[in-house]
A and B are shown apart, each in its own frame.
Chain A
Amino acid sequence: MGAVGTGVPRKEAKDKVTGNIKFVGDYISPGLMHARLVTGTYAHALLKNIQTAAAWRVPGVKAIVTGKDCSFLTGAYLEDRPPLAADKVRYYGEPVALVVADSELAAKQGAEEVRIEYEPLPAVNSVHDALRPGAPRIHENLGEYRRVKPVFPETNSNIADRVKVRKGDMGKGWAGSEITVEASFHLPQSDHVAMETRCVRAEIAPDGRVTIHSSSQAPFVIRKLISRYFLIDTGKITVIVPAVGGSFGGKAAVQLELLAYMASQAVGGRQVKLVNTREQEIISSPGRIGLDAEVRLGATKEGQLMAAEITYLVDGGAYSDIGAVMTKSIAADCTGPYKIDNVQCDALCVYTNHPYTTSYTGFGHASYTFAIERTLDMLAKKLKMDPWQLRRMNAIAPGDTSPTLTGLTTSNLGDTGKCLDRVKQLINWDEGQVVTGQDGKIRAKGLSALWKTSSTPTDARSGAILTFNPDGSLNIGVGAVEIGQGSKTNLAVMAAERLKMDVGKVHVMMEVNTHAHPEHFKTVASMTTFMAGRAVLEACDDIIHQLLSMASIVLRCSPEDLDVAGGRVFLTDNPNMYVDITELVHGYKYENGNSIGGQVIGRGSYIMRHLTEMDPETGKGNVGPGWTVGAEAVEVEFDPGDFTYKMLKAVAVLDAGKVINPRIAQAVVMGRMNMGLSLANREGLIYSGSGVVENASLRDYKIMRFAEQPQYTVEFIETPQIDAPYGARGLGEHGLIGMPAALGNALSAAARVELNQLPLLPETIWSVKEGRP
């Protein structure tokens, strides 16, 4: 009855193709109140006055909340963000006020009537602007902010955090380098563009119990922060997350939930709904980091990498949110999956007057990978070496160490070399990187390798509770959210495998309820299969133990004589002697009425082990449980006449450890590849000179559409991670990571010019070719 490795359809599939599935915004309840955000129209300005009189006159308006009504600052690592701007706005679109009304219409009318007076301040419009001496200070009181976790803001600067990695000896590295290259890169901020915009409902019961419904990846963090900021016991807070309409990291940030709570509080606890418009989704809620990078690589003439000196400047926007962790994560994996013994990396999380940012699929890895992999292609050129060969010979392997000096083994590291080998075949690399066609069009390929470990807190945890229905079917209760990645189905597959039962008899619930389900850190970092999987397997083992011991009484034997499979507990040596688990799961009842055992309830939990913080001076530390590695390639057809191009093929080979569900794994990787190409090929926030975002709508912020995608091929290598469930490594984000770099390498080869910025528009290529700034 093997379920692992077979293509099990998603549990919620039927609901999704019939419109039956419910997202937070789909619940309509009588008496629901509506809140609407009023957002700032300057990137950097003092708030002189907020006039609400006209808004109060709108019939139906019941409350108006402004920054004056909330005295706390919030933040994941560094508490630097007021939930509503109080003294000044620090980015275009920052929430300034909240109008609560008895209808959506009145809330919008009220919001339109709020008048805000500003005194504009000079805006910091790039990371370089931010670091310039005398740059305007975005946070005057940076030094006084409360630090929730290790983070090192630098007073009197626009630096929220600085992470250093020092490995080996740079002097030696450079001395051994016969060839060096260096290059600078610029990647703009961008947006998640989950199709469901963020949405929350909040209510406060008369006895003080708080219920929040949110489209979130982090219900347990919401509970923690509501408790922290509003001084409510966590036990009195219930956070419920139904299905989520895409999130990609963006819904791991806690923002609207705090506002919705304040809105509800302002109307006596009544249930209030707050939903982002698309514009607010793009600018007011956090998006994706920008990155400016400088990379210098040294190698021997034979191509062995000797040294890497790297500066990463993360454009985290106006508030640090998860930016500090992302900066750490970028620094920890800063070289990509290559063996380099001498590494110096400085990664800075920089404040600008841009929209603030949070986690995003790939957690910063796609950004730095673009810089590293582009530099590698430039190095290959200088070495007159095949770019694939350069990667292959330097691919990191067991026995090497990571930039933060974690020892790499066959378990905690996948097989980069194998991935590169397979990608080479799939993209037909040997045909030649650049082929010019009869029609003058140029077909060109680009490569990228990738790796990523998770950067969870060192005590990240998960849990599972399994119960049975009278028909012997199983219910999985976990705190991990279904955001489209199919993880609930994967957990069902793992449980079915361990309990040797039909996966059709394993039920999962789309909803997560913090009161009913055990805590799961957050549904991020591709860690659901690992963490929740470990918990579910432990719970399965717990169940097996209970079933065997109860059955051993019924069948008068020792538990060791028994096995569980196909809904029965039976004697291993005589399967005809068995008891049906339906007779056991709610306690076994003898004919005379005597009963034993009680309900079978499986419990499992998991906590990360052996993780450490990074050393502030050297970066030394163990940041994640294992690296998923991979290689990707893109083939384009480029028109040298007008610099337009078509993406023909994209290939990914990832070391999955073990593929739990090929259907879902393929689909998820392909989706992230598409997103990576979309980011590289067209996306990016565009600012005016004063920091105003000019493309805050789907009319102007373009994402890839149907029929623009290349032909995708996804394959997996399986090098098991020993401590992971069935050996499965995280997969949820990795498809994205190498795509921008592979596209950049393909186009640079095709256009014979170094393309070191994103997005790769025809105009970008034209202007680099023309030597325009």
Chain B
Amino acid sequence: MISFDFEYYRPDTAAEAAEIYQVLSGAGKNPLYYGGGTEIITMAQSNQLKPGAIIDIKQIPECNVFEVRNDEILIGACLNLNQAAEGNLFPLLSKTARGIADHGSRDKITIGGNICGKLIYREGVLPFLVADGEVVISGQNGAAARPLSEVFSQTMQLRPGEFITQLKVKRSYASVAFFSQKKTKQAKVDYPLLTVAALRQGDDLRVAFSGLCTFPFRSVNIEQDLNSRDLSWESRVNNALGRLPGPVLNDLRGSAAYRLFVLSGALRDMLTQLKGVGENVSNA
């Protein structure tokens, strides 16, 4: 039970949403955009969040598109994870989304909400990080597409009043070789000890992680190591382990040392599955 009150708005257009945000914000109501609501409801129940108003964006048409337009795949931010997985326009997203929470929760969790959430994992962002995705951000001044790499750094860097209406990736990413692996402490439905999402673009591997540090990330340095074709897999993995962008999580799901052990296994699995073009198997 949520023990404080908030107002509920369900705008029909993105413009309306941005507008009501301004109004509510001006009135000191501390509004929040509301996607699936799974995080907002959970955190509100324990008073970790106390919005005075929520703006449910699920009715906004552009937030619900899921289609290929020209050479782009458009993914509405309010698609729930099951829709995103079952529609299967972007297989890496389908696979990664299927690893998040459980089926019933995925009927409610939206892709936008997952990426913009407070939870440290935000696994839904990984496919977009490795696929050089773009986000369409709506706000007071209308909508604009921005490269994800510019607006996602540990968390989504949105200005007050902005929200995501869509995500985009190049259509070509739907057909490249990919890898998505979620490792948990024991239970299948659990937060990740580690989730790796990767794809092969030409000869190069791109890889992003969740569960390793307190934020999801893609790291150019790690990719460089993993793509050093002159080194053995073992050395590449070892080098990569030394280039993590922050301290490794050490929590009730697993110790930092164990996470690193799991990571090296996952990276080896990834290399096995996504061997670069022309790569010599004997490198293994």
**A762: CB under 8 A from chain B?**
yes
Nearest Cβ on chain A to B98's Cβ, whole angstroms:
14
- CB closest residue in chain A, given B255: A763
A682 pairs with B186, CB closer than 8 A:
yes
A705 and B258 contact, Cβ closer than 8 Å, known pairs A108-B1, A112-B47: no
B47 pairs with A695, CB closer than 8 A:
no
Q: Which residues of B contact A108 (CB under 8 A)?
A: 1, 3
B185 pairs with A705, CB closer than 8 A:
no
A763 pairs with B258, CB closer than 8 A:
yes
A682 pairs with B252, CB closer than 8 A:
no
With A108-B1, A705-B187, A705-B189 known, 8 other A-B pairs at CB within 8 A are: A108-B3, A109-B3, A642-B262, A682-B187, A704-B187, A707-B188, A761-B186, A766-B261
Of the candidates B188, B252, B265, which one forms a contact with A705 in the assembled complex, judged by CB atoms under 8 Å apart? B188
A763 and B185 contact, Cβ closer than 8 Å, known pairs A642-B265, A686-B252, A700-B252: yes
**A432: CB under 8 A from chain B?**
no
Q: Chain B residues in contact with chain A, CB under 8 A? A: 1, 3-4, 47, 185-191, 252, 254-255, 257-258, 261-262, 265
> Considering the chains assembled together, what is the distance between the CA atoms of A518 and B190 in angstroms?
46
- CB closest residue in chain B, given A108: B3
**A663: CB under 8 A from chain B?**
no
- CB closest residue in chain A, given B264: A642
Nearest Cβ on chain B to A46's Cβ, whole angstroms:
26
Q: Which residues of A contact B1 (CB under 8 A)?
A: 104-105, 108
Q: Chain A residues in contact with chain B, CB under 8 A? A: 104-105, 108-109, 112, 641-642, 681-682, 686, 694-695, 699-700, 702, 704-705, 707-708, 759, 761-763, 766-767, 772
- CB closest residue in chain B, given A113: B3
A761 and B257 contact, Cβ closer than 8 Å, known pairs A104-B1, A109-B3, A686-B252: no
Of the candidates A105, A682, A767, which one forms a contact with B3 in the assembled complex, judged by CB atoms under 8 Å apart? A105
Q: Which residues of B contact A694 (CB under 8 A)?
A: 252
When A and B form their complex, what is the total count of cross-chain residue pairs whose Cβ atoms lie within 8 Å?
46
Q: Which residues of A contact B188 (CB under 8 A)?
A: 705, 707-708
- CB closest residue in chain B, given A704: B187
B3 pairs with A641, CB closer than 8 A:
no
B185 pairs with A761, CB closer than 8 A:
yes
Nearest Cβ on chain B to A558's Cβ, whole angstroms:
67
Of the candidates A104, A112, A686, A702, which one forms a contact with B187 in the assembled complex, judged by CB atoms under 8 Å apart? A702
**Can you list 5 pairs linking A and B with CB atoms under 8 Å apart?**
A108-B3, A705-B189, A759-B186, A761-B186, A767-B255
Nearest Cβ on chain A to B100's Cβ, whole angstroms:
13
> Considering the chains assembled together, what is the distance between the CA atoms of A695 and B186 in angstroms?
15
Nearest Cβ on chain B to A735's Cβ, whole angstroms:
21
* Chain A CB within 10 Å, residue with most, of B1, B188, B254: B1
A702 pairs with B3, CB closer than 8 A:
no
> Considering the chains assembled together, what is the distance between the CA atoms of A694 and B186 in angstroms?
17
Q: Which residues of A contact B261 (CB under 8 A)?
A: 766
Of the candidates B47, B186, B257, B258, which one forms a contact with A702 in the assembled complex, judged by CB atoms under 8 Å apart? B186
> Considering the chains assembled together, what is the distance between the CA atoms of A686 and B186 in angstroms?
15
A695 pairs with B187, CB closer than 8 A:
no
Q: Which residues of A contact B258 (CB under 8 A)?
A: 763, 766-767
Per DSSP, are chain B's interface residues mostly helix, strand or loop, or mixed?
loop
> Considering the chains assembled together, what is the distance between the CA atoms of A702 and B252 in angstroms?
12
> Considering the chains assembled together, what is the distance between the CA atoms of A772 and B261 in angstroms?
13
> Considering the chains assembled together, what is the distance between the CA atoms of A641 and B266 in angstroms?
11
Q: Which residues of A contact B191 (CB under 8 A)?
A: 699
* Chain A CB within 10 Å, residue with most, of B3, B47, B185, B191: B3
A708 pairs with B3, CB closer than 8 A:
no
> Considering the chains assembled together, what is the distance between the CA atoms of A368 and B4 in angstroms?
48
Nearest Cβ on chain B to A740's Cβ, whole angstroms:
14
Q: Which residues of B contact A762 (CB under 8 A)?
A: 185-186
> Considering the chains assembled together, what is the distance between the CA atoms of A694 and B251 in angstroms?
10
Of the candidates A109, A702, A707, which one forms a contact with B190 in the assembled complex, judged by CB atoms under 8 Å apart? A702
Q: Which residues of B contact A695 (CB under 8 A)?
A: 252
> Considering the chains assembled together, what is the distance between the CA atoms of A694 and B252 in angstroms?
8
Nearest Cβ on chain B to A384's Cβ, whole angstroms:
33
Q: Which residues of A contact B262 (CB under 8 A)?
A: 642
- CB closest residue in chain A, given B4: A109
A681 and B3 contact, Cβ closer than 8 Å, known pairs A642-B262, A763-B255: no
A763 pairs with B254, CB closer than 8 A:
yes
Q: Which residues of B contact A686 (CB under 8 A)?
A: 252
Q: Which residues of B contact A772 (CB under 8 A)?
A: 257
B190 pairs with A112, CB closer than 8 A:
no
> Considering the chains assembled together, what is the distance between the CA atoms of A767 and B191 in angstroms?
21
> Considering the chains assembled together, what is the distance between the CA atoms of A702 and B261 in angstroms?
22
- CB closest residue in chain A, given B185: A761
Nearest Cβ on chain A to B247's Cβ, whole angstroms:
18
> Considering the chains assembled together, what is the distance between the CA atoms of A702 and B254 in angstroms?
14
> Considering the chains assembled together, what is the distance between the CA atoms of A47 and B118 in angstroms?
34
Q: Which residues of B contact A707 (CB under 8 A)?
A: 188
Nearest Cβ on chain B to A646's Cβ, whole angstroms:
11
Q: Which residues of A contact B257 (CB under 8 A)?
A: 772
- CB closest residue in chain A, given B46: A279
Q: Which residues of B contact A705 (CB under 8 A)?
A: 187-189
Q: Which residues of A contact B252 (CB under 8 A)?
A: 686, 694-695, 700
- CB closest residue in chain A, given B251: A694
Nearest Cβ on chain B to A705's Cβ, whole angstroms:
6
Q: Which residues of B contact A105 (CB under 8 A)?
A: 1, 3
Q: Which residues of B contact A699 (CB under 8 A)?
A: 191
- CB closest residue in chain A, given B190: A702
9 closest cross-chain pairs (CB), A and B: A702-B187, A682-B186, A108-B3, A763-B258, A109-B3, A686-B252, A761-B186, A642-B265, A694-B252
> Considering the chains assembled together, what is the distance between the CA atoms of A708 and B184 in angstroms?
13
Nearest Cβ on chain A to B152's Cβ, whole angstroms:
25
- CB closest residue in chain A, given B258: A763
B3 pairs with A112, CB closer than 8 A:
yes
> Considering the chains assembled together, what is the distance between the CA atoms of A705 and B191 in angstroms?
15
Nearest Cβ on chain A to B191's Cβ, whole angstroms:
8
Nearest Cβ on chain A to B6's Cβ, whole angstroms:
14
Q: Which residues of A contact B185 (CB under 8 A)?
A: 682, 702, 761-763
Nearest Cβ on chain B to A375's Cβ, whole angstroms:
25
A708 and B265 contact, Cβ closer than 8 Å, known pairs A108-B1, A109-B3, A695-B252: no
* Chain B CB within 10 Å, residue with most, of A641, A759, A763: A763
Nearest Cβ on chain A to B256's Cβ, whole angstroms:
11
> Considering the chains assembled together, what is the distance between the CA atoms of A404 and B87 in angstroms?
66
Nearest Cβ on chain B to A517's Cβ, whole angstroms:
35
> Considering the chains assembled together, what is the distance between the CA atoms of A246 and B255 in angstroms?
34
Q: Which residues of B contact A708 (CB under 8 A)?
A: 187-188
Q: Which residues of A contact B47 (CB under 8 A)?
A: 112
> Considering the chains assembled together, what is the distance between the CA atoms of A702 and B188 in angstroms?
10
> Considering the chains assembled together, what is the distance between the CA atoms of A108 and B5 in angstroms?
13
A641 pairs with B186, CB closer than 8 A:
no
> Considering the chains assembled together, what is the distance between the CA atoms of A762 and B188 in angstroms?
13
- CB closest residue in chain A, given B265: A642
> Considering the chains assembled together, what is the distance between the CA atoms of A707 and B261 in angstroms?
27
Nearest Cβ on chain A to B270's Cβ, whole angstroms:
14
> Considering the chains assembled together, what is the distance between the CA atoms of A563 and B252 in angstroms?
66
A681 pairs with B189, CB closer than 8 A:
no
Nearest Cβ on chain A to B36's Cβ, whole angstroms:
16
- CB closest residue in chain B, given A772: B257
> Considering the chains assembled together, what is the distance between the CA atoms of A704 and B186 in angstroms?
10
Nearest Cβ on chain B to A441's Cβ, whole angstroms:
15
- CB closest residue in chain B, given A686: B252
